[in-house]
Structure 1
Amino acid sequence: MMRLSNFSKILHHHPLLQLLYALFFISTIPFAFSEIKKTHIIDDSRPMILFERFGFAEGGHVAISLKDVSWKTKHRKAEYSPSLMGFFLARDISFARIINESHYTQPFCVLSSRYVKLISKFDELTINSTYNGLIAIDDPDEYSLVFGNCEPEFEVSMYVHTEMYNLQYGVKDFLPAGQTLLPKLYFMFFLIYSWFFGVWIYICIKQRPTVDTIHVIMGALLLVKALKMICASEDKMYVGKTGTPHGWDVAFYIFGFFKGIMLFTVIVLIGTGWSFLKPYLQEREKNVLMIVIPLQVLENIAYVVISETGPATKDWMTWNQMFLLIDVICCCAVFFR
């Protein structure tokens, strides 16, 4: 118990350790931002900023372009050391080792850790300067691209353009290793849902006298789900080839929005026996729908923010937690109504 108390005190007085533990937690979240990313950092003093996580195969590359790099401080006596700022790559497993290393190395700077793969430091940069760098990955694995700032009294501003890709027969593939088959997988799901939709339409036509409104809504849900899958397939295909989704992400979000609302609505309506057992909803059931539908709208907004901004955004983790919380609330509202 004393060890835990002492550890909490140490963690409270060391912002860098807090960031390391935060990155260690984020590394357990299964996300992969694979497309080309453009991020604007404004007056940010965080010790570490996570930009992307990517699975590299042999022959993978990381390209970074910096523009309008600047830094400032509110402390007049603070001395700027460019070697204490820079970008590095780290394996997910390395964050725990970096945390352990920070306990025994004082003063500690993550850029000097033996568990990181350094990309560049700010040694050659001046105010409003630019930088272009390319690094090849010799050891295939899943890496996180992180900006390290070991001078917390300085706030950094910059435009960051990142590209992470693997080379397949000399052609860039912007999908992480292990996700290259996702376009085909999503297309297969599209065919399956389309087949289910066709079968459902056939059954409804054959059993027309017994078809109720709920059956039509269920058919619409299958259609929306199929359209979402084809959009996901096209999204991943274009991301893999060009690094950008070419607008398919917008269609994916739209159909995902309708799918989420319709799914919970169908579950509630079937659970209450609406349409085929009783033609009305009780007040309690109406209240559940009035809670779930607005929450689904908010959840989809959170999902779009999470997908489009990335972990480099200051509030990204808050949106992620809100997304998970809303999902749990919706499930509880439906199952414990």
Structure 2
Amino acid sequence: MFKLIPRYFKNWERCSKMKEIWVKIKGWDKELLLAAIESGANGIWIDPEHIEKVKRLSKIPVISQTDSADIVVGKDLYIREISKPEDQESIVSLSLNKPVLVRTLDWRIIPLENLVARSDNIWVEAKDLEGARLALTVLEKGVKAVVIEADHPKSLRELLAPLLERTEPLKLIGLKVQEVKPIGMGHRVCVDTCAILEEGEGLLVGSGSNGLFLIHGETIEGPYAAPRPFRVNAGAVHSYVLCPGFKTRYLSELHWGDEILVASYGGNTRVVPVGRCKIEKRPLIMVSAMYETTSFNVILQNAETIRLVFTDGRPVSVVDLKAGDEVIGLYMEGGRHFGHRVEEWIKEA
């Protein structure tokens, strides 16, 4: 277990995405195991004699000291102790091929930053939320995995919940609408999530990578359509959509099982899986807006059920939107390369 001086703790969501949270269970504790599984832990570390019981409860990866485990200690995962500064060289070398769980009685001997700076394959143990978060964000990069131990199902759930959500609030802004213009027929994407969306929630979508609009979920009953609270009619196929890790993807490439970032008008976010995407040809409408001196647009289906969000949180149908209205969006500086932010000048038109 370690304690780390909190020098590097920002961009929590960006750092922690794709990191792994494993739960170590001593002996057999079914309730603790169920708490780990139901909370979304990436895997379980358990004694060899209990592997079959775990597999009967859930299809979840298991770490143990036997070949029947998914990850075998000593073969697929190494454990190493640090007792002196010279130990880090062998750990870094070993981690080039396999992950290494690093233990020490005193992280002042070798700061965790030293190992994380040189390797993407470092695991650590953590006993509390602060320690886990710091490990996952050190150097704004983080360790590959954290192993958690807890004695009680309730405390485990409370510990895992903020770690596995892996998101932080976004600073959303007001975009002033300049023009709302029908542009003919085209293909748009409906994203059906595996979650029930609340009023005020949706996806951040736009034609350019640096300016995204909050497109509201289909949570509101209309005169001609029942609510589909799991769905966002997100926009034209070419559009960018914000995903976990502050990465953008094209709507057209989303697929079932992918993770996507749902945002609320207040900037809160959560990661949800995609259940299905539907691409269909529909009449389209373009919404153009400005933030300071920068212009953005989003192209949506031209239908009453498609809504953006006013800055006070009220959903507004695209057919009722007009120049001068202010809707919620996200401004991001820099360009994008394969969805990742890069420091470069870019103009999109």
TM-score (norm 2): 0.25
Q: Which has the higher relative contact order, 1 or 2, with Cα contacts under 8 A spaced 6 or more apart?
A: 1
TM-score (norm 1): 0.26
More strand by share: 2
More helix by share: 1
